[in-house]
A and B are shown apart, each in its own frame.
Chain A
């Protein structure tokens, strides 16, 4: 029974990993940019969440998800407009990799100077310890909420991209940025919005992760690695693939920890390597 419980908890945890990766998948899919500062933005949004909940202690932490996501959207918009758009058209992939890498290093160390290197977390109140008994299994309320929120956000993202005018423009820009210009679309502006959306999704994951476990300014590297694994395992640029990749990694990590308590993310990494070697294009290939 304990194994079933571990698998279920791994799946719930994996929804969060999927959320961590989907923002990265969006960026890779739309503008073929690998954003190495993704992890630092995840950590920064957690710091913003901590500061907000310190300033507004009477507000329930989960209610801060929306304001933090809006701030993260603005930061992403600015990052893209001020920096990334200036290198995104260059043919070599190094330009955007090193640029976002420089942003990551600057942000990480500014966060160390500004917030200190001590581990922090966002208090999640009674919800953190509440659990439900479903058919003999004990399942935390917070993980269930996290998975439900992840699925809702994935569905919303999918609907926005497939059913709305904005989504149509984003998909067209991803297909061919030169042709959409002929139709009167400014690809730079589309990219601004997409980067904002990517970091807004990442900020939700960052806040939820900070409720589950503590973080430091240096956590960005680990979060980036998880996000990358999720994206690559799922297949670069696919959204449901990212969700599935996250769940697979979450289950692998918790099963590994059950099997060997001081293994850390070792088994998730091994599963990632095995998965990518068996299916070099990801478990779920992009249709387009």
Chain B
């Protein structure tokens, strides 16, 4: 099993490394966009699907990541890629500080609080002349990179970020922190009563998600060579993350991958194959979201998983065997219970987890 995963990983790495020579620049750019969007969606999934934090202001970290990269690269006159590490650091710091305030708010209040915070940051940045105000700023230091390498580099970095987002979330959720997070999500009072530090677990998830979105946002704006508050802090960022996660399946790691594939396939199909405007594409996306919620609220991945009988990246834990008396007591309700639980993890009712 272990050697097989290693072979798969090596093959994937080789394909990613070779791909820029195999396909055209347009497709490469689309793939980079896909990978970055996937990484952001995975971060939103970590927050909403596992930590129980519904952020409607995640675009603030996309924008802060982009602006910290631009400012660092332009003022130090270095190639944008060298300034990349600053983006997650700034976002993580901001997230840790803001969490002190925003974590006082719960559920809908938290969602609105994050959204308003994002608007405030966007309004403040659009008043700073050094950052170009509302007009935004360009990235002249991109000239320091050989133009032939710009797209391949963007693609490799995007692939690395997407892989890190998926792998990192997987490892985080399999750790003690992940178990704590899912316990808190399922019942925060019960979790606190058995000694889970609710606040600390949520803070880790919030900071990780902020750093991830910041990094992905910074790379995303390296490709555009221009940033302005109205693009960087566009609420559509979080809208896209939300769509991808909820259509694919919230609270599963494979869900956002499937959701991102559907999102981009739908977009290319409607805008290129049918030649319709972006507006009609969004109408289609909204309709898909409505249909998903009406007919398959857990998202599409759980459906596909049960059909294919696979379970690649499950973070489900198999509970220790129960004593015989408890098994006898549990039998009756277990038969009546519906197997389709909304979330993937920490429930003992579903199918057993395949060893990773």
Q: Are B283 and A105 neighbours in the complex by a CB distance under 8 Å?
A: yes
Convert B102-138 into 0s and 1s, putting 1 for each residue whose CB lies closer than 8 angstroms to a CB of A: 0011111100110111011001100100000000000
A221 and B56 alpha carbons, distance in the complex (Å): 12
Convert A68-89 into 0s and 1s, putting 1 for each residue whose CB lies closer than 8 angstroms to a CB of B: 0000000000000001001100
- Which residue numbers of A lie inside 8 Å of B, CB to CB? 28, 34, 83, 86-87, 90, 92-95, 97-99, 101-106, 108-110, 112-113, 221, 225, 228-229, 232, 236, 262-266, 269-270, 272-273, 276-277, 280
Question: B337 to chain A: closest CB distance in Å?
Answer: 15
Q: Are B290 and A102 neighbours in the complex by a CB distance under 8 Å?
A: yes
Q: Are B242 and A109 neighbours in the complex by a CB distance under 8 Å?
A: no
A264 surroundings in chain B (CB, below 8 A): 123
Most B C-beta atoms less than 10 A away, residue of A105, A264, A265: A105
Q: Are A232 and B112 neighbours in the complex by a CB distance under 8 Å?
A: yes
Q: Are A232 and B108 neighbours in the complex by a CB distance under 8 Å?
A: yes
In chain B, what residue has the closest Cβ to A87?
A: B293
Determine chain B's interface SS by DSSP, over half rule: helix
- Which residue numbers of B lie inside 8 Å of A, CB to CB? 48, 54, 101, 104-109, 112-113, 115-117, 119-120, 123-124, 127, 235, 239, 242, 246, 250, 277, 279-280, 282-283, 285-290, 292-294, 297, 342
Question: A111 to chain B: closest CB distance in Å?
Answer: 9
In chain A, what residue has the closest Cβ to B107?
A: A93
Q: Are A86 and B294 neighbours in the complex by a CB distance under 8 Å?
A: yes
Q: Are A103 and B120 neighbours in the complex by a CB distance under 8 Å?
A: no
**What are 11 A-B contacts with C-beta separation under 8 Å?**
A83-B294, A101-B286, A102-B286, A102-B287, A102-B293, A105-B285, A113-B280, A225-B119, A229-B116, A232-B109, A277-B104
A31 and B256 alpha carbons, distance in the complex (Å): 30
Q: Are B127 and A106 neighbours in the complex by a CB distance under 8 Å?
A: no
Question: A233 to chain B: closest CB distance in Å?
Answer: 10
In chain A, what residue has the closest Cβ to B278?
A: A109
In chain B, what residue has the closest Cβ to A110?
A: B283
Since A94-B48, A232-B108 are in contact, a sample of 15 more A-B pairs with Cβ atoms closer than 8 Å, ordered by chain A residue number, is: A87-B297, A92-B297, A94-B250, A99-B289, A102-B288, A105-B283, A106-B282, A221-B235, A225-B112, A264-B123, A266-B123, A266-B127, A273-B101, A277-B105, A280-B109
